[in-house]
Amino acid sequence: MPAIEVFVCARPVALLDGTAAVDEQGTGVDPAVRRWGDDPAAAFALEAALRLRETGQVESVVCVSVGPVEYDGWLARGLATGADRALRVDLPGQGGLDARATGALLGAALGRLGARLVLTAQRSSDEQNGLLAAALAADLDAAYLANVVELRLQGDGLAVERRLERGHRQMWAADLPAVVAFEAGANRPRYVPVAALAMARHREIELLAVDELGVKPESLPRFTERVGLARGRVRVRKSAVPGAGGSAAQRLQAVMGGGDTGAGGKLLSGSTDELADRALDFLEERGLLRGRSTR
């Protein structure tokens, strides 16, 4: 197998302070309450890439991002974690590209670099679109493999295990080039010592000017338009009411543990057969006896 470089694409995510606030136009986050932080979802893709290198399946790991200089924090973390190189497509002041525009720019950059294997998070922790990897794959004319928890390279292709609902797994295979989107929790990302993080701040992050890509961000099509951003409505799903008795600590514990939620569970007593029948009826009524029956 020829030496493969694996590219891990991610960006920092917007972390909002406790009181999320919107800007004056009502369509963006107030910069005063936003700071950039590492996307926990990206850590799983990076860990998978590092493991591929450690098992000799790829030669090197490159972290890539598209955005302003504030994005270097994530790239430095990638270097501290063990990536060989870090590269940013420099896009000053345009941290708000949508997933498809980001995919187009990343695709152009990775196409120039001859990328054959690209790993991403399944979805970012802030926007949760889950569209970047698919857009990137289309731009690179590569196979797209989603919801992946395990990846193996086989000859000139790859095999993946993907996570389905309720613990089921599905296996897919594809030829390279490929874009693989990793599920959160796919592996256990390694610990990064603070000293390594501090040292990585001084390592070089390669820059690629967007003009060199032949793609103009302002000319990329937009598919949806954000017309409003507002604080989420708080709806009470359950209210926990501690009993009047007991110490303050006991009552606080009762609230933390759910307290009396008034779930409606009337205490049933009776013979074993009666109770067993009642339990079975309950499971059947709720469609719980055989999966999610809806027929």
Contact 125, 111 (CB under 8 A): no
Q: Given the complex with other proteins, which of 18 and 56 has the nearer CB atom?
A: 18
Which DSSP category does 260 fall into? Answer: B
State the minimum distance, in angstroms, from the CB of residue 18 to other proteins: 9
Closest approach, Cβ 138 to other proteins, in A, equals 5
Q: Give 60's contacts (C-beta < 8 A, 6+ positions apart).
A: 3, 5, 6, 53, 84, 85
- Cα(179)–Cα(87) distance, rounded to whole angstroms? 18
The least CB distance from residue 30 to other proteins, in Å, is 10
> Which is closer to other proteins, CB of 202 or CB of 266?
266
Q: Using alpha carbons only, how large is the chain's radius of gyration in Å?
A: 24
Closest to other proteins by CB, 82 vs 130, is 130
Cβ closest to other proteins, residue 17 vs residue 206 = 17
Nearer to other proteins, 211 or 294 (CB): 294
d(CA 61, CA 50): 7
Shortest distance (Å) from residue 21 CB to other proteins: 9
Cα distance between residue 45 and residue 140, in whole Å: 19
* Residue 125: how many other CB atoms lie within 10 Å: 16
Nearer to other proteins, 236 or 267 (CB): 267
Beta carbon of residue 178, minimum distance to other proteins (angstroms, whole number)? 9
* Nearest approach, Cβ of residue 61 and other proteins (Å): 24
Q: How far is CA 283 from the centre of its chain?
A: 34
At its nearest, how many Å lie between other proteins and the CB of residue 199?
31
Question: In whole angstroms, how close is the CB of 254 to other proteins at the nearest point?
Answer: 6
Q: Which residues contact 120 (CB under 8 A, 6 or more apart)?
A: 8, 9, 10, 42, 45, 132, 133, 136, 179, 180, 181, 182
Task: Please give the Cα distance from 153 to 159 (Å, whole number).
Answer: 6
H-helix or E-strand spanning residue 207: strand 206-209
Between residues 76 and 99, which has the closer beta carbon with respect to other proteins? Answer: 99
* Neighbour-count burial of 68, counting CB atoms closer than 10 A to its CB (0-12 exposed, 13-18 middle, 19+ buried): middle
Residue number, 199 or 276, with CB nearest to other proteins: 276
- Cβ-count burial 95-112 (b if 16+ within 10 Å, e if not): bebbbbbbbbbbbbbbbe
